[in-house]
Structure 1
Amino acid sequence: MSCPHLAGVAALIKKAHPDWSPAAVRSAMMTTADTVDLSGRPIQDASPKKGPATGFAMGAGQVNPSKALNPGLVYDLNSADYVRLLCAMNLTAAQIRAITRSVVDNSCSSSSLDLNYPSFVAFFSRSSEVLELRRTLTNVGQEMATYSAAVTPMDGLQVRVVPQHLVFKGNGDKLSFKLVIQSVILKKKKKKFQKSGYLKWVEDGGGKHIVQSPIVATNIHSY
């Protein structure tokens, strides 16, 4: 039933914010989702392993419609961003035109696997020790606002955000940052790992808005 429920919440958000893109609506639902239950305890994993659910099990969390209507910041996207992703996946111009059904220039003059998505997946290959994931946030609040980054500690990983603070000058202002994840400790041990945590952008002055994104990191192939 999650799909029709989310579709209904998305419709409510679009009604309240008709100028928002589908990506902005998705971001609002993901970054305001709850990761604790009504008693304040972490949502539990339903698998035999039990324990608190991680990003691998529950994604961003349980949607909170009232919070999603006023997320503070969103990770927005447009069609050109998806074209750059397709280019980075080495699709041909003909294949991209078949997907986009567009006659615009798809010459792949620029490409990027770093889609401006409201979550972070860090896959470490045998040769990688440090990964940088870049994102851009758009202020959808009504006033100037300063946000500070907070990252959940993940055992064996060193995670930092550059810059640590974002100062938005008004509605529609866009600012970029990068999430740097280093796996030197785990790489030395040569162990397979799956780690999960969160990046939170907390609005200064009482935390009126908290923009939360799941982070997952692994060196395990899915095949």
Structure 2
Amino acid sequence: FEQPDIAAPGVSILAADRNSYVFKSGTSMACPHVSAVTALLKSVHPGWSPTMIKSAIVTTASVTDRFGMPIHAEAVPRKLADPFDFGGGHIDPERAVDPGLVYDVDAREYNKFFNCTLGYLDGCESYYLNLNLPSIAVPDLKDKVVLQRTVTNVGPAEATYHLVVEGPAGIDVFVEPSVINFTRSSSKSAKFMVRFTARQRVQGGYTFGSLTWSDGGTHSVRIPIAVRTVIQDFVADTS
């Protein structure tokens, strides 16, 4: 899965330094902002798991600046920021407190993920794809890949969410179902399937998109997508 998860204020931040205050920049300034938002969310929703809090932060982040323009990355040459620059986007605490839907993960699932990374388990590729993270990364799409995610309703008991997909360039994206209905008598969780199909046979770089569940009103639950098409393994890309 991709990193980072989120972007936060980190440039010219007024910070305490010994017996004074100074302006500092960097991840050491951004991290306290996210930690504070996490603590506030936990105070409002004490029953939420760490992954529910993380999901709320990621899925409600903004991908535009305060003027409504796309965020640019600090790169040469200048380029639009992508999920590898800011994850879900720039943190938005007010929206994070009421995300509508969250992507929750049982803590025991991370034990299996850890064992996979250490090589203790076989057949981990499918597990990597299906870990219920608030993001989707497919690093080696040769033809077709199918994965699934589960969303949990933490908003109004009765709600209908419609899907909005921004597909990565050169990739066909199919999601089933494309509409999720929650009622007072239904389960608070719903599974959906995502299929990626490569339209072009190239050894390429990553292309990006997003998958958003919207109730047409208050809630817009967005996760980033990163997909890389390949022809064969162990081929280095050059530019």
Indicate the TM-score class for this superposition, using the shorter chain for normalisation.
0.7 to 0.9
Which secondary structure does the structure 1 equivalent of 2:208 belong to? strand
Aligned with 2:73 (options 24, 28, 45): 45
- Residues 63-72 or 132-141, more deviating: 132-141
8 Å CA contact 1:134, 1:179 repeated in 2: yes
Query: Larger strand proportion, structure 1 or 2?
Result: 2
User: Distance in 1 between the 2:133 and 2:35 partners?
Assistant: 19
User: Distance in 1 between the 2:65 and 2:218 partners?
Assistant: 20
Structure 1 pair 71–7 and aligned structure 2 pair: CA distance change class (3 A) = same
1:8-33 Cα offsets, whole Å, 9 max, x none, are: 00000000000000000000000000
Segments of 5+ residues of structure 1 without an aligned counterpart are 94-107
Segments of 5+ residues of structure 2 without an aligned counterpart are 1-28
Structure 1 pair 89–51 and aligned structure 2 pair: CA distance change class (3 A) = closer
User: Distance in 2 between the 1:21 and 1:41 partners?
Assistant: 33
Shift of 1:90: 6.6
Aligned with 1:36 (options 55, 59, 64): 64
8 Å CA contact 2:62, 2:89 repeated in 1: yes
Alignment of 1:81-92 (within 5 A): 81-89=109-117, 91-92=119-120
Deviation above 6 Å: which 4+ runs of structure 1?
A: 220-223
User: Distance in 1 between the 2:173 and 2:224 partners?
Assistant: 13
User: Distance in 1 between the 2:40 and 2:118 partners?
Assistant: 37
8 Å CA contact 2:167, 2:208 repeated in 1: no
Structure 1 pair 219–157 and aligned structure 2 pair: CA distance change class (3 A) = closer
State whether structure 2 residue 223 is matched by structure 1 residue 213.
yes
Which secondary structure does the structure 2 equivalent of 1:186 belong to? coil
What's 2:94 paired with?
66
Shift of 1:172: 6.8
Aligned with 1:176 (options 187, 191, 197): 191
Identity %: 33
State whether structure 2 residue 163 is matched by structure 1 residue 153.
no
Q: In angstroms, what is the RMSD of aligned CA positions?
A: 2.4
Which secondary structure does the structure 2 equivalent of 1:112 belong to? helix
Shift of 1:89: 4.6
TM-score norm. by structure 2 comes to 0.77
Shift of 1:91: 4.4
User: Distance in 1 between the 2:77 and 2:222 partners?
Assistant: 25
What's 1:116 paired with?
132
Structure 1 pair 66–199 and aligned structure 2 pair: CA distance change class (3 A) = same
1:67-122 Cα offsets, whole Å, 9 max, x none, are: 000000000011222233345557449xxxxxxxxxxxxxx9xx832210000001
What's 2:157 paired with?
143
Aligned with 2:214 (options 173, 186, 202): 202
User: Distance in 2 between the 1:222 and 1:135 partners?
Assistant: 30
In the alignment, residue 151 of structure 1 is paired with which amino acid? V
Shift of 1:154: 2.5
8 Å CA contact 2:168, 2:226 repeated in 1: no
User: Distance in 2 between the 1:186 and 1:19 partners?
Assistant: 45
Shift of 1:57: 1.5
Which secondary structure does the structure 2 equivalent of 1:49 belong to? coil
Shift of 1:50: 1.6
In the alignment, residue 164 of structure 1 is paired with which amino acid? S
Structure 1 pair 116–186 and aligned structure 2 pair: CA distance change class (3 A) = same
In the alignment, residue 213 of structure 2 is paired with which amino acid? W
In the alignment, residue 139 of structure 2 is paired with which amino acid? F
8 Å CA contact 2:169, 2:208 repeated in 1: no
What's 1:6 paired with?
34
